[in-house]
């Protein structure tokens, strides 16, 4: 059983970091890299295990069986990982490893790095916990671990005004969102008397109540906050630019998905499932998705700060993922719904890769030139060719150009939304048009006439370049086999996510029937 090591290794790495740090900075960096690499290895093994057996992996803390003695309901904390969880685990550990590798070069001039590496490992741990857990309160704890680590990391550079400002904003908004979620959990516990997700799902299917619906609305509200959906995306546009770039890459690539869209999908499909009106909930999500799509991408066009542009673009891309989830709910059981969900999961993975790449590129530019203002970055293609090339690939992928990975996932979302409701398809296309305009504008600047400021810049050092190269390769290779990946990984993940009965029986074997 490899599953516990996904928590053990980063936790051990984080807690031993202050001691290892006494050995000096080389040891600290090496330790962070080793720990995250080991986690990636375990994640790969877990993913392969789940993918090849197509079984929901259940792990009980403290005993062999989640059920209590003589009772037929779970009394212990369980971890429950299906294929969607495994995909998230793999992508979280992969991008976190890239970000840590990148930090070696990027954070060279900062102080307090033992805290930085501790926090970044804790951030990874929190996200892994969220995607692994099968217990609602455990979910909340990991969500808070992730959130608090990210508040601290956003405000890591305490000597800059914007770090502090963004950190405070993020912390206030995030705490309110977390308290919504805690309140929802409390309501559900009061009503149903259990915190195990699968048992809760079974109880809820037997006896749907108004309290359950109130809790659902609180969950949706809290998780839309965490994912940066549109009316409540304002923290994101400040937090991503202010954080150090490897942290932006993790925030934008992972945090808003693990703690946002993934959690939303898990709660909607695995806990609530058919016990609520899926069409209504689906349309609620779709409405937010459409607003998010348009607002995020349109705001990206007018930015002059490169990281802010990328942050708004993240909001826009979250819109696509939410659109996929929303259509998956509203068109539950039809082919369009299945394609939409596959597209949403696929886009989650793809966006994590490409946005991580883009933020790492932005970080390299800022590291070399010390400015985030796009108007001053004219012509960096001359002096930073490799970085610009990486940006070109990332931008083309995020727009969805065919030989790259963004195409297939966006295609699935376009196709399903056009089948489901052509208006939604049109909105998705308009979002992409804005997105294209935003990135073409950046490319126009990057390839233009070199300004004086740019002339002394050069490509960053190896430890910063290597993660970018790996991500570029990942984007290109994934782009070459889009339909195979969709067929072999994403569609099975959708099937497992929709199979609520299986999710319940994995923990409670003698549960019969369904909703």
Partner 1 sequence: MDIMTGVVYPVAGLVGLYIFVSLASLIWEGIDRKLVARMQRRVGPPLLQPLYDFFKLASKETIIPNTSNFMFRAAPVLSLATAIALLAYTPLGFEPILTSKGDVIVFIYLLALLSLFKILGAISSGNPYAKIGAAREAAIMVSREPAMMLAVFAIMWRLGKLGIEKPFSMSVFYQHNIWEIGTPMSFVGALILLYVFIVWLASEIEVGYFNIPDAEEEIAEGLLVEYSGRYLALFKLTKALKAFISASLVVAIFFPWGISGYLGLTGYAATIADLLFHTLKVFLLLFAVQSIFRATTGRLKVTQAVSFLWGRVFAASLLGSLLIAMEVIM
Residue ranges that bind partner 1, judged by CB under 8 A: 379, 381-382, 385, 388-389, 401-402, 440, 443-444, 447-450
Between 43 and 404, whose beta carbon lies closer to partner 1?
Answer: 404
Least distance between partner 1 and beta carbon 123 (Å): 36
**End-to-end alpha-carbon separation of the chain, Å?**
31
Between 468 and 508, whose beta carbon lies closer to partner 1?
Answer: 468
Tokens representing 46 are 């877990």
The rounded Cα 276 to chain-centroid distance in angstroms is 26
Least distance between partner 1 and beta carbon 482 (Å): 13
Between 48 and 444, whose beta carbon lies closer to partner 1?
Answer: 444
CA distances from 149 to 97, 237, 258 (A): 17, 18, 14
Between 26 and 449, whose beta carbon lies closer to partner 1?
Answer: 449
Least distance between partner 1 and beta carbon 430 (Å): 13
Least distance between partner 1 and beta carbon 294 (Å): 19
Between 283 and 389, whose beta carbon lies closer to partner 1?
Answer: 389
Query: Which DSSP symbol is given to 78?
Result: E
Q: Measured between alpha carbons, how far is 380 from 392 in angstroms, rounded to an integer? A: 12
Least distance between partner 1 and beta carbon 76 (Å): 51
User: Are 20 and 9 in contact, with CB atoms under 8 Å apart?
Assistant: no
291, with CB counted inside 10 A (0-12, 13-18, 19+), is middle
Phi, psi (deg, nearest 5) at residue 133: -75, 150
Residue 289: partners with Cβ closer than 8 Å, 6 or more residues away: 229, 319, 320, 322, 323, 325, 326
Between 402 and 462, whose beta carbon lies closer to partner 1?
Answer: 402
Least distance between partner 1 and beta carbon 388 (Å): 7
How many other C-beta atoms lie within 10 A of the C-beta of residue 463?
Answer: 16
Tokens representing 63 are 């005993």
Least distance between partner 1 and beta carbon 289 (Å): 24
Least distance between partner 1 and beta carbon 312 (Å): 22
Angle (deg, nearest 10), helices 405-420 and 422-446 = 150
Between 399 and 494, whose beta carbon lies closer to partner 1?
Answer: 399
Between 153 and 381, whose beta carbon lies closer to partner 1?
Answer: 381
CA distances from 467 to 39, 239, 381 (A): 17, 22, 19
């Amino acid at each position: 059983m490899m599953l516990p090591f996904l928590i053990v290794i980063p936790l051990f790495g984080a807690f031993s970091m202050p001691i290892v740090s006494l050995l000096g900075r080389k040891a600290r960096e090496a330790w962070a890299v080793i720990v995250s690499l080991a986690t990636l290895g375990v994640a790969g093994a877990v993913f392969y295990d789940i993918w090849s057996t197509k079984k929901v992996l259940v792990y009980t803390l403290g005993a062999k069986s989640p059920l209590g003695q003589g009772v037929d309901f779970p009394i212990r904390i369980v971890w429950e990982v299906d294929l969607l969880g495994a995909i998230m685990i793999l992508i979280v550990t992969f991008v976190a490893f890239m970000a840590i590798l990148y930090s070696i070069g990027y954070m060279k001039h900062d102080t307090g790095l033992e805290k930085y590496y501790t926090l970044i490992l804790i951030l990874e741990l929190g996200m892994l916990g969220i995607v692994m857990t099968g217990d609602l309160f455990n979910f909340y704890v990991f969500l808070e671990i992730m959130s608090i680590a990210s508040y601290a990391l956003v405000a890591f550079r305490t000597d800059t005004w914007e770090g502090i400002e963004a950190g405070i904003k993020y912390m206030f908004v995030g705490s309110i969102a977390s308290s919504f979620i805690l309140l929802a959990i409390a309501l559900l516990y009061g009503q149903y008397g259990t915190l195990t997700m699968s048992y809760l799902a079974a109880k809820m299917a037997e006896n749907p109540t108004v309290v359950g619906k109130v809790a659902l609305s609180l969950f949706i509200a809290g998780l839309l906050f965490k994912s940066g959906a549109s009316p409540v995306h304002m923290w994101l546009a400040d937090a991503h630019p202010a954080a150090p770039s490897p942290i932006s890459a993790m925030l934008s690539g992972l945090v808003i998905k693990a703690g946002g869209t993934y959690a939303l999908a898990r709660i909607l499909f695995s806990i609530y499932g058919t016990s609520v009106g899926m069409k209504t909930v689906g349309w609620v999500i779709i409405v937010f998705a459409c607003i998010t799509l348009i607002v995020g991408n349109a705001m990206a066009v007018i930015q002059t700060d490169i990281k802010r542009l990328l942050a708004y673009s993240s909001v826009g891309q979250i819109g696509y993922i939410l659109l996929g989830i929303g259509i998956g709910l509203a068109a539950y059981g039809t082919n369009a719904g299945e394609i939409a969900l596959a597209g949403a999961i696929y886009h989650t993975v793809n966006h994590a890769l490409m946005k991580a790449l883009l933020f790492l590129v932005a970080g390299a530019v800022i590291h070399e030139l010390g400015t985030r203002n796009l108007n001053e970055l004219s012509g960096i293609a001359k002096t930073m060719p490799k970085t610009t090339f990486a940006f070109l690939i990332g931008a083309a992928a995020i727009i969805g150009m065919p030989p790259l990975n963004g195409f297939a996932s966006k295609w699935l979302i376009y196709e399903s939304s056009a089948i489901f409701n052509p208006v939604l398809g049109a909105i998705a296309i308009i979002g992409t048009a804005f997105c294209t305009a935003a990135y073409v504008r950046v490319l126009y600047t990057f390839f233009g006439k070199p300004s004086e400021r740019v002339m002394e810049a050069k490509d960053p050092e190896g430890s910063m370049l290597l993660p970018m190269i790996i991500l570029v390769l990942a984007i290109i290779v994934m782009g070459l086999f889009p339909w195979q990946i969709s067929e072999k990984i994403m569609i099975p993940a959708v099937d497992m996510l929709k199979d609520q009965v299986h999710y319940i029986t994995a923990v409670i074997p003698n549960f019969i029937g369904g909703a």
